[in-house]
Amino acid sequence: MKNAVFFDRDGVINRPVVRDGTPHPPEDASQFDWMEGVHGTLEILRNRGYLLFVITNQPDVARGTQSRAFVESLHQRVRAELPITAIYTCFHDDVDGCSCRKPKAGLIYQARGDYSIDLSSSWVVGDRWRDIEAGRTAGCRTIYVRHGYRETPAHGYDQEIDRLSQLLTWIR
């Protein structure tokens, strides 16, 4: 069994677009910018033997305000520039009732099946309560990246950080 780190995308891998205190995905390629320290942090984790995954909700596709092709183009850039093993995306909205939309753990379970992952020795890193809940449901340890959004905060996480490089203290 392998160990993994699962990262949310917007707010963890790349900077979110924050409007009225709420995070949103980039609307176009010009708004896509890496979070500080993401390249070096992920490289260190890969060198420590972790498989690295992005698990992301992209409901704007279901809502018709973002194209799947655009989301996939951003993911091509992520795969090209970061040592990511795979990206798992939920394109549904809450009303769809799917098992892959966080806070459900479907994306994590899919990666577990595809890569023989030991979830009890793996981590989920997220900036919203949905990420943390998905990780807890799957039996992973969790790290909350605090950004101070004006929304329901995460709770029940194992560690809290202000910047991505701090997770290296916890994920050894």
pLDDT digits (tens, 9 = 90+) for 34-85: 999 999 999 999 999 999 999 999 999 999 999 999 999 999 999 999 999 9
Looking at 8, 60, 127, 131, which residue is catalytic? 8
Query: pTM of the prediction?
Result: 0.98
Q: Which domains does the chain have, with CATH numbers?
A: 4-169 (3.40.50.1000)
* Bridge partners, 14 (sequence order): 10, 34
Distances (CA, A) of 119 to 1, 3, 5, 91, 168: 9, 7, 9, 23, 18
- In the sheet where 159-161 sits, what is the strand order? 86-90, 51-57, 4-7, 123-126, 141-145, 159-161
User: Which residue in 10, 60, 127, 131 is the catalytic one?
Assistant: 10
158 part of the active site: no
Q: Is 20 a catalytic residue?
A: no
